Amino acid sequence: MNFNLEIIWEYAPFFLKGTLLTIGLSFAGILFGTILGLFIGLGKISRNKLVAFPFQCYITFFRGTPLLVQIFLIHFGLVPALINETNPIFAGILALSLNAAAYIAEIFRAGIQSIDRGQMEAARSLGMNHIQAMRYIILPQAFKRMIPPLGNEFIILIKDSSLIAFIAAPEIMYWARAMQGKYFKAWEPYLTAALIYLVLTLTLSIILNRLERRLATE
């Protein structure tokens, strides 16, 4: 195996641009996925079955079909229907957010349900209404427990964003594939991409570890 560092150097600016886009896409996916996931998670635990049903369907669909299929459906189906042309970045953010929301909803649900029922009862007996009790008592405690699985989901999301290369959004994997196509070499582009993803996910887990330590009660 002859490893050609020169061609990596040549593609470094593109990898840099790709990395910025990957960070942007992942960040947007994490942000919108978390917001959406919170609402879907809360919707799913609603006691009213009629209210909970659509949220249940949402989770079933987005968790039960491959992300790549969702990306294609959104890119070639939904986005052209919305804005009359394709837009890989818009489609990518949409797909990542919608997909992550399904998983994050389940994390929220599990987190909320893991808090002892007595906490809600205590909050209510202090005179808080249901929403206040959720906001000030249940969610802050649940959130602390949710950090490890959320971190897991965010790391998966960063890696999954590589699938957006398939709809030609110029992120890390897209440039790795372009470089592979030009030089007919596989090791250089894919190892470079692997290393960049590793740095990104490692950075994220360090941040999450810090956050977890800061929020620890003892």
Partner 1 sequence: MKKGILLLLSSILLIALTACGTSGGNGNEEEAKVLKVATDAAYAPFEYLEGDQIVGFDIDIINAVAKEAGYEIDIVNTGWDPMLIEVEQGTSDIGVSAITITDERKQSYDFTSPYFLSNNKILVKEGSDITSSADLEGKVVAVQNATTGAIAVEGLLGENNSDIKKFDNNNLAILELLSGGAEAVVADDTVIEAYVENNPDQGLVVIEDADYFAAEYYGIMFPKDSEYREDFDNALKAIIENGTYSTIYKEWFGAEPNLDALNQ
Q: Ramachandran region of residue 66, left (φ > 0), alpha (ψ -120 to 50) or beta?
A: beta
- Does 180 bind partner 1 (CB under 8 A)? Our answer is yes
Per-residue mark of binding to partner 1, 17-56 (x: CB under 8 A): ----------------------------------------
Q: How far apart are CA 150 and CA 110, in angstroms?
A: 11
In the list 130, 135, 182, 210, the residue contacting partner 1 (rule: CB under 8 A) is: 182
CA angle 149, 42, 160 (to 5 degrees): 40
- Does 205 bind partner 1 (CB under 8 A)? Our answer is no
Residue type, 83: I
Per-residue mark of binding to partner 1, 83-102 (x: CB under 8 A): -xxxxx--------------
Choices 35-43, 57-65, 119-127, 193-201 (CB under 8 A): range interacting with partner 1: 193-201
Nearest approach in angstroms of CB 195 to partner 1 is 6
- Does 170 bind partner 1 (CB under 8 A)? Our answer is yes
In the list 124, 144, 145, 185, the residue contacting partner 1 (rule: CB under 8 A) is: 185
Nearer of residues 150 and 164 to partner 1, judged by Cβ: 164
Q: How far apart are CA 78 and CA 179, in angstroms?
A: 30
- Does 184 bind partner 1 (CB under 8 A)? Our answer is yes
Residue 164's CB: how many other CB atoms inside 10 A?
29
Binders of partner 1 among residues 63 to 82 (CB under 8 A) are: 75-76, 80
Binding-site size, partner 1 (CB under 8 A): 32
Nearest approach in angstroms of CB 150 to partner 1 is 22
- Does 149 bind partner 1 (CB under 8 A)? Our answer is no
Please report, as ranges, the residues that interact with partner 1 according to CB under 8 A: 1, 14, 75-76, 80, 84-88, 166-168, 170, 174, 177-178, 180-187, 191, 194-195, 198-199, 202, 206
